[in-house]
Amino acid sequence: MAKAVAVDPDRLDREARELFRQLTPEPTTARDRNDRPVTIAPSERMVDITRRSRLIVVSDTVAQAVVALLARRGIDSEIGHVHVDPAENDEQVLGLLVTLDGRPAVVPIRPAARQLRAYPAVDAIDLTGHEPLRVIDLPADAVEPDGWVGAATISTAVAEHLTVPT
């Protein structure tokens, strides 16, 4: 039998925030044949690929923290697969699976988003063509100067709209 591991949402939130600060890869420093330092900027394509993959990791880490915080409130949720929220852009982020008005819903967890949208839970990655069931505005004062919105803020805002099992 697998041993249950305690999840520390504060630690996960800190880790996600640090990863969020590193979405774009830094230039690499190296030495040329003459042992002179040179800076090599990553290609535009590498920047895009790295940013997209890191965004998935950040959203997964935030989603883990949100699931743990919702569980403390007695609200069932889980992390689904990646989704593209058409209201944001074409980047994939992890979806939080919840029950909204008695129906399965997915909330894409996009780091630094000022709004969250709950969509009908679907298997498709791209949510284009699906109207949001609910738009959840996050408090403006909860946005940090670097754009970060913490897991506690997200879980509190989402919890106000979820169905609690009876």
Establish if 81 belongs to a structural domain: yes
Look at residue 16 and give its three-state secondary structure: helix
Residue 107 lies in a domain: yes
pTM (2 d.p.): 0.87
Whether 83 and 106 have beta carbons less than 8 Å apart is answered as yes
Distance CA 106, CA 50 (A): 25
pLDDT digits (tens, 9 = 90+) for 129-145: 999 999 999 988 888 88
In a domain, 164, yes or no: no
Residue 5 has pLDDT above 80, yes or no: no
Is 79's pLDDT higher than 90?
yes
Helix axes 151-159, 9-20, angle to 10 degrees: 120
Residue 148 lies in a domain: yes
In a domain, 165, yes or no: no
Residue 106 to residue 49: CA distance in whole angstroms = 25
The reply to whether 138 falls in a domain is yes
Tell me, rounded to whole angstroms, the distance of Cα 138 from its chain centroid. Answer: 14
Tokens of 21: 């600060």
Which pLDDT tens digit goes with each residue over 30-47? Answer: 898 999 999 999 999 999
pLDDT in tens, 47-73: 999 999 999 999 999 999 999 999 999
Q: How many independent structural domains does the chain possess?
A: 1
Residue 16 lies in a domain: yes
Q: Which domain holds residue 118?
A: 10-159
Residue 42 lies in a domain: yes
